[in-house]
Structures are given as C-alpha cells and as structure tokens.
Amino acid sequence: MTARLPSAPRTPVVEGAVARRLFFDDDEFSRQRSGRAELDDPEQLLRNLTHCVIEVLAGARDLEQLARWVTDDVYRNLSKRVVLAARARRAKGLVPQRPAFTVGRVMIDEPADGIVEAVVMVHQRARSRAVAIRLEGLDQRWRASVISVL
C-alpha cells in the first residue's frame, strides 16, 4: 500500500499588471519623494486619469491600464468598485459601454511640495460628477494616492 502525500496548497494565479507590481516593482517604502521642480505639470495627467477612471467604472476600460499611475491602495479600492459596478450592470441586464462625457474644469491645490490635490468636474448628459484626486511625486513621476468619484 502506498502512502498518499498531502497535496500542495493551491496558490492564486496572478497575471498582468498586478503580477508585475507584486513581483517586480519596488515596494512603496523605498520610493523616493520628488519635489515639484522635478515633476511635469499635473493638469493633463489629472484630465487623462479622470477620463480613464470613469471609463474603468463603466466597464469600457481595463483597470490594469491604470496600475502604473496609482498606488496599491487606490488600485485595490478601484478594483472593488469595478466588481460592484459590473455586478450592478449584470443585475440590470446592461452591457458595458463607453460613456459619453466631457472633462470640465480642473481645480488644483498644492498643499506641500510634490503633492497636488485636485477636483476634476465630469459632465454627462444627465448629471455632473466630481472626481477628487491626490497626486504625490514618487520617483520623479506623479502617482495618484487617492481617487474618489463623487
């Protein structure tokens, strides 16, 4: 009679940008803060990031496309919202569509060197929304450390 070996525990499969961030990116504590003089003008990034976030929540864009521009906490929070939005669409029998909207006024405040807090207005046919974003300069580029879609 042969003895059975216990099976190895199953490990979750990690793919794409998440895998790259888990296995190849430096950890957040080793990142170097960057001052405002080392960074580009944040307005265009704020506009583009807002555009992408709205499309991600609508199901028209993959969340992994934002992985480079957001911190791990923001990625996890957006991931939860994407799952909830997809579940709500399925319950209503809707298919993901590219939303029709325009990015409006961008209001920027700089509370400290290398930190930008902004509100970006998004105008849709039925309503307007505000997206609050906090950018921090890390490794000579902007990264969103907070994104709230109101």
Angle, alpha carbons 131-59-89 (nearest 5°):
105
Total-model pTM = 0.77
In a domain, 22, yes or no: no
Pick from 23, 117, 21: nearest CA to 76: 21
Which CATH number does the domain housing residue 140 bear?
A: 3.10.450.50
Of 17-21, 30-34, 131-135, the poorest mean pLDDT is in 17-21
In a domain, 12, yes or no: no
Q: What does the pLDDT read at residue 8? A: 43
- For 140, phi then psi, to 5°, come to 65, 30
- The domain in which residue 119 lies consists of 33-149
In a domain, 10, yes or no: no
Is the pLDDT at 51 greater than 90, yes or no?
A: yes
| Number of domain units in the chain | 1
Angle, alpha carbons 116-19-64 (nearest 5°):
50
